[in-house]
Amino acid sequence: MENFTSGNADNADDFDDFQELLDGIALSPVVRGKRGGGRKATNNIGADILGIATLQELRKNHHVNLQNPANLKGNTLWGVIDQNSFNLATQNSMGIESSYKQQGVLAVSLTKSDGGKIVLQWWKATIINDILQFRKVFKSGEQYHLCKNPQGNYGLWKIDASTGTPVVNGSGSYTSFNLDTLVSFEEYLNAIVMATEVPVSFPNDEVSKLQGLSEILASVNLNHEVPDNSTTELDNELDEVEE
């Protein structure tokens, strides 16, 4: 993956071109299709750590609206709080044992693929050795691309990696990423760090590539020391993110 934010002049030009493209795009509203039957694995986001009240507060007061061009920034992280997280947090608050599986903390960013397409990059963290460690999620199935649908509207549409074509939902429309789930990454991390009292770690070579990440980590880790050799590999769940 290219480093759009390094000091290299060529890379800086690439990032400027990338951001110029994003600045000219207005994402269309989320299109929701019919829901299929059967239980799906959850993308639970910290529901075993944060209660329902905190999740609601984050979604209400710290939602990031990507339909606002000012928020559509390349290589910027956003937290993801999905409906399964609300469901699990609600069940936890009621003392109900849930069938959902905790899969750690998820975030996403927009980046440019090796093929030059603007894609959604997933990130995931679990607590390992008392550190909340983030790594890229390399999805072997579908991913989201920023592209136009048949009506000419830009959106983050799911693409089948095996065919390179958009995934069509039950209503015959392209399957869209749910933009309503996005929240401020810093506020989300702050809430988790306050609840767990653990520091947050990213791979060193990724920190400089992501806009504002070094400042966010300095803020949330203010009272924690993160070892420089924090390189423990996450488990195989990193290979898949289901929705």
Full 3-state SS string of 136-192: EECCCCCEEEEEECCCCCEEEEEEECCCCEECECCCCCECECCHHHEEEHHHHHHHH
| Residue 106 counted as domain residue | yes
Is residue 158 included in any domain, yes or no?
Answer: yes
C-alpha to C-alpha distance for 42 and 88, rounded to whole angstroms: 9
- Domain presence at residue 62: yes
Alpha-carbon span 46 to 193, nearest angstrom = 11
How confident is the model at residue 49, as a pLDDT? 79
Q: Does the residue 243 lie in any domain?
A: no
Per-residue model confidence (pLDDT) at position 33: 43
Q: Could you say which residues of the chain have pLDDT below 50?
A: 1-9, 32-43, 229-239
pLDDT at site 16: 66
Global confidence as pTM: 0.79
Task: Give residues with Cβ within 8 angstroms of 85, minimum separation 6.
Answer: 42, 43, 44, 45, 46, 47, 55
Q: Is 140 among the domain residues? A: yes
Any domain includes 78: yes
Structural domain containing residue 171: 9-33+44-234
Query: What's residue 2's pLDDT?
Result: 35
pLDDT at 43: 47
Give domain status of residue 239, yes or no: no
The distance in angstroms from the start CA to the end CA of the chain is: 24
Number of domains in the chain: 1
Is residue 226, in this structure, part of any structural domain at all?
A: yes
